[in-house]
Amino acid sequence: MRACSGVLSRRAGEPCSGTALLIVLVLTLVMSMLAATVLQSASLQLRYSGNLERRLETLSVAGGISTAVRERIENFPGALQAGQSNCEPPDTRQTCAFSDLQYTLPIELPPDFAVRARVTRSLSAVMLLETPAAGSGQYALYEIDVEIFDVLSGARLAQTVTGVALPAAPGEPRILYWRQPGIDAP
């Protein structure tokens, strides 16, 4: 069977093999597969950026909660011993010596999110620290640990740990460090 090279050269009665049709069908199939791959890639990128945005939002909320906890001096009981915590009720962790942690949420969380916050005394003794803003002084060391969970899956969405130095004399707590467990070194 001979392929047709064009309408003008085709002789009457000669069969045409359809090579051009076959080539166009193959090219259409290849282009369709390429388009499907591009759409799938775009869909995955959109999902990834949505998850990243949600993670950054929850991390921002965790930082806001940490700030709200730090602003209330009564969240740092002097009676805490090293390793003991002041937790929000109804936290049932065994290291919680107190359960009266108070703060206000910086924004309203979705109903499927849960917050767990606690203040832990790092050392029982008061330490002498040099701070650039206030010079030297006696400080008690605490950590504010805030975790945000997805209630449905139990997955931790964000966690921040803030090291705080509380002056022995009346004054504002000072931030010593801020880190994200699992990302920053302890």
* 120-145 burial code (b ≥16 CB/10 A, e <16): bbbeeebeebeeeeeeebebbbbbbb
Token pair listed for 117: 């916050």
pTM of the model: 0.68
- pLDDT digits (tens), the chain, 186 positions: 445 555 545 555 566 678 888 999 999 999 999 999 999 999 999 888 878 888 888 888 888 888 888 888 888 887 788 888 888 876 666 568 888 888 888 888 888 888 888 898 887 667 776 766 556 777 888 889 998 888 888 888 888 888 888 887 776 777 777 766 656 554
Q: In angstroms, what CA-CA distances link 141 with 10, 99, 128, 184? A: 94, 19, 10, 20
Closest CA to 162 of 177, 147, 140: 177
Domain ranges within the chain, ordered by starting residue? 31-179
Q: In angstroms, what CA-CA distances link 18 with 2, 6, 23, 24, 32? A: 10, 11, 9, 10, 21
